Structure 1
Amino acid sequence: MSDIVIEKIAALGKAFETQAGALNTRLGELEKKYAREEGHEGGEPIGNALENAISTSDAIRDLSSSFRGKAVVKLTGERADITSGNTTAGAGRSAGTSLVPGHRVAGIIEPYQRVLRVRDVIGTARTTSSSVEYVKETSFTNNAAPVAETTLKPKSDLTFDMYNSPVRTIAHIFKISRQMLDDGPALASYIARRGTYGLKRVEEAQLLNGDGTGQNLHGIIPQATAFAPGWTATAETPIDRILQAISQAEDSEFDVNAVILNKRDWRKMTGQKDAGGNYLSDASPFGATDPRLWNMPVVATNAMPAGEFLTGAFGEAATIFDRLDVEVLISTENNDDFEKNMATIRIEERLALAVFRPDAFIYGDLVATGP
């Protein structure tokens, strides 16, 4: 072996020894630091707390087979039960910060929304004004008759009156922080959706029952004609009374196009049986059928009070005039919203309801209440 090779091997060995010494020194420093941080020199021991306490206890260390009495082992430091629910208690804690966090279902669970259908059977149009005016014939004296040649013709008469249906606004607002808009982007759309439903629910109540005072619409029921049957039915039932009401509405010469009932009343009707215990409806109880009564569509809604009905020519004898469709606006400059870092969500609509022929709507009780 040459002298050069021998010298290189010696140099490599010396360098290796130097590096190994440095590594040993660094390892020793790390071990000391680890012992201080983890409590091996007065800190909290790692591993099983009870096992560490026993292994370091002087009382346990001095035990022998001749020991009599008791030895006490004290666990120092914080001792918290390790459970899935422990961290859900206390200020600022929630199920989301639990050791075993709860399963989070995405989104917000909405309450069930009433199906709104009254508007569907009423005629609709648009307006660009703040009120809807219409001229209505109030009386017609019809003296038309066959006459002889060259004789004086009979005179008939018509009278008219002007009616007005003002456009009303239905609206409400919600307050939300800008932080919530940023942190929960779906919240704004949820509020808009629920707010629109709330608006439409009030609209349906107004279309049926608005009393016309203040800012209320003048609904159909307050203007409808009271039920006065044209004949007496044998063993009268609610179904008979609705048939009588349809006939009464047809005296207006308009085509009746719907019957509005409370949902519970409609269910009672579909469950009626004959004397033999058979359901009157071929579709009851398991079949599916389009809700119809006397060949008229039935609108079953809880907006109609139980025990009452409304029938009539919704398509022609009344009209909804929409001035502003449902509008959802968000603003950060309302009142002191800018200072408080808040936002205002406004949901509103504008509409008018014109009932041209109140005699084309019949309202009454499903069951006779008096003699």
Structure 2
Amino acid sequence: MPVNIEQEYKQVQNDLKNVSDQLKAFAEESQTAIKNHQQLSEETKGKVDQMLTTQGELNARLQAAEQALANNDSGRAGRVLTLGARVAESDEFAAKASALAGGGKGSFSVPIQNAITEADGSGADLIEPTRVPGVVAPPNQRLFIRDLLNWGRTQSNSIEYVRETGFTNSADVVSENPSGGKPESDITFEMDSENVATIAHWIHASRQVLSDAGMLQSYIDGRLRYGLKLKEETQLLKGSGVGLNINGLYTQASQYSNPGVEVESDTMIDRLRIAMLQVQLAEYAADGLVLNPIDWTSIELTKDSQGRYIWANPNAVNGPTLWGLPVVTTQSLDQSEFLTGAFQMGAQAWDREDATVTISTEDRDNFIKNMVTILCEERIALTVYRPEAFVKGDFVLSSGA
């Protein structure tokens, strides 16, 4: 029976409001107990932990319902399709796959913007129920650097832009008719350009994969898409800017330098806060932190003298945050390295060509070996408007840490 997305959305909203009201009541009860020098019972603490968990689950369901509503164009329950599912359910796949699987020659491409998104489209007729239950997908790294950045679209092979190299703020209070004129601030710029980079890779697969849409989907999602996004992640962060490489955020960022804050027993958490201050002194506000997963785990496991976690709640479903900023964990940064900055204001990324999948039997000796080549590629660029808006460093701490 189809799920009524609107009804589900309203129900989750109501449930979330009820949980929030209960948490508010417990918070008031806690404040009263503190004033009266009393402690909350273990039962009450357990209820609060349970409600926090429920709140996190409801927030996740609410986000899923909102996304489903956004993809629902005719009142039917919409679906969020992976790259592999979009290829398997596309009109191009429906029209070409059978002929190629039966021994024909040729190739076809599926641009993502043209892929169908409804389950009852022509391509969906090829989708069959899963034959083998319990298939375990390879562990995938979650990539979020793309989400931190402001993305635009370009139709050019290179992007010319103005890079801000300095700002002197001379704003001041003046009289009605100042004899010496009003103060002049100074912003210095330089012209720069960045080339659009192509990120691509391919794999060989048996021709039989074209007869099984589910198998094709797993190849694309489990191998091609993951590998493409992993390389995109590395390029956006650490691209050298030499040759065909993107000039990455970490590559262009300013080096960490304590502007004069006295810190006793310097810690990883202290260093990140000072890096945020360094961004602020460059007239920007940091809106994200990027860490290696090992370093973030070390921070999450920080405890006080009584063995209680300081930054983490093992019972909560909340996303990772530190000093009020979202934390992105990625192995594209080496252990002990960190990056923070104004990702939304200090830089912009550009999509020249969305991820496209091309399937062909005409690559080398594919035809006589019953093989197909599956190619996945995209074209992107990155422009950093103010390098001082990003600060990089490492966690090589002082001897007192």
Aligned to 2:264: 234
Partner of 2:219: 191
Q: CA offsets per residue over residues 85-120 of structure 1, 9 Å max, x none?
A: xxxxxxxxxxxxxxxxxxx94585421111111111
Aligned to 2:25: none
Tell me the residue number matched to 2:291. 261
The alpha carbon displacement at 1:186 in A equals 3.3
TM-score of the aligned structures, taking structure 1 as reference length: 0.65
Say if 2:118 is the partner of 1:118.
no
Structure 1 position 311 matched with structure 2 position 340: yes
131-140 or 154-163, which deviates more: 154-163
Between the aligned partners of 1:253 and 1:125, the Cα distance in structure 2 is 24
Query: How has the CA–CA distance of structure 1 residues 108 and 172 changed in structure 2, closer, same or farther, with 3 Å as cutoff?
Result: farther
1:235, distance to aligned residue in structure 2 (A): 1.9
What SS does the corresponding residue of 1:315 show, helix, strand or coil? helix
Match of residue 172 from structure 1: 201
Amino acid across the alignment from 1:363: K
SS in 1 for 2:204: strand
* RMSD of aligned alpha carbons: 2.7
* Corresponding residue number in structure 2 for 1:363: 392
Q: Which has the higher contact order (CA 8 A, sep 6+)?
A: 2
Q: Corresponding residue for 1:279?
A: 309
8 Å CA contact 1:271, 1:284 repeated in 2: no
AA of the residue aligned to 1:275: S
| Contact 1:263–1:300 (Cα < 8 Å) also in 2 | yes
The structural deviation recorded for 1:169 is 0.3
- Give the C-alpha shift of residue 237 in structure 1: 1.1
Q: Give the alignment's TM-score, normalised by structure 2.
A: 0.60
Cα 1:156–1:180, aligned 2, differ >3 Å: closer, same or farther? closer
Distance in 2 (alpha carbons) for counterparts of 1:176 and 1:158 = 55
Which SS does the other structure have where 1:204 is aligned? helix
Q: Quick check: 113-122 or 129-138, which moved more?
A: 129-138
Change (3 A) 1:176 1:257: same
Change beyond 3 A, Cα 1:235–1:195: same
Q: Is the alpha carbon distance of 1:160 and 1:343 closer, same or farther for their aligned partners in structure 2, counting shifts above 3 Å?
A: same
Where do 1:14-163 residues align within 5 Å?
105-106=132-133, 109-140=136-167, 150-151=179-180, 158-163=187-192
* 8 Å contact kept, 2:239–2:247: yes
Q: Distance in 1 between matches of 2:184 and 2:279?
A: 29
Could you tell me how far 1:285 is from its partner in structure 2? 3.9
Do the aligned partners of 1:322 and 1:350 also contact (CA within 8 Å) in 2?
yes
Partners of 1:320 and 1:353 within 8 A in 2? yes
- Match of 2:163, SS state, is strand
Q: Contact conserved, 2:349 with 2:381, CA < 8 A, in 1?
A: yes
Paired residues in the alignment total 266
Which protein has the larger Cα radius of gyration, Structure 1 or Structure 2?
A: 1
Which of 231, 234, 256 aligns to 1:202? It is: 231
Q: Which has the higher helix share?
A: 2
2:380 to 351, 357, 362: 351
Residue type at the aligned position of 1:297: P
For 1:167, the aligned partner's letter is V
Q: Alignment partner for residue 270 of structure 1, among 284, 290, 300?
A: 300
What's the CA shift string for 1:115-145, capped at 9, x where partnerless? Answer: 1111111111111111111022334566677
Matching residue of 2:37? none
> Does the Cα contact within 8 Å between 2:265 and 2:398 map onto a contact in 1?
no
Supply the distance in 1 between the matched residues of 2:315 and 2:185 (Cα, whole angstroms): 58
Contact 1:271 1:285 in 2 (8 A): no
**1:339 offset after TM fit, Å?**
5.1
Q: Which amino acid aligns with 2:156?
A: S
For structure 1, which segment, 290-299 or 144-153, has the greater mean C-alpha deviation from structure 2 after superposition? 144-153
- Aligned residues of 2:267 and 2:397 also touching (Cα < 8 A): no
CA distance in 1, matches of 2:327, 2:185: 40
Asked whether the equivalents of residues 266 and 397 of structure 2 are also in contact (C-alpha less than 8 Å), the reply is no
Structure 2: how far apart are the matches of 1:152 and 1:325? 52
| 1:227-281 Cα deviation digits (max 9, x unpaired) | 0012121122111111101010111222211111122211211221223433323
Which blocks of at least 5 consecutive residues in structure 2 are unaligned?
1-130
Rate the CA distance shift 1:224–1:330 in 2: closer, same or farther, 3 A.
same
> How much has 1:304 moved relative to structure 2?
2.2
CA distance in 2, matches of 1:238, 1:312: 17
Q: Offset of 1:301 from its aligned partner?
A: 2.3
The answer as to whether partners of 1:291 and 1:297 remain within 8 angstroms in 2 is yes
Q: CA deviation at 1:332?
A: 2.2
Identity of aligned residues (%): 42
Name the structure 1 match of 2:278.
248
Letter in 1 for 2:155: T
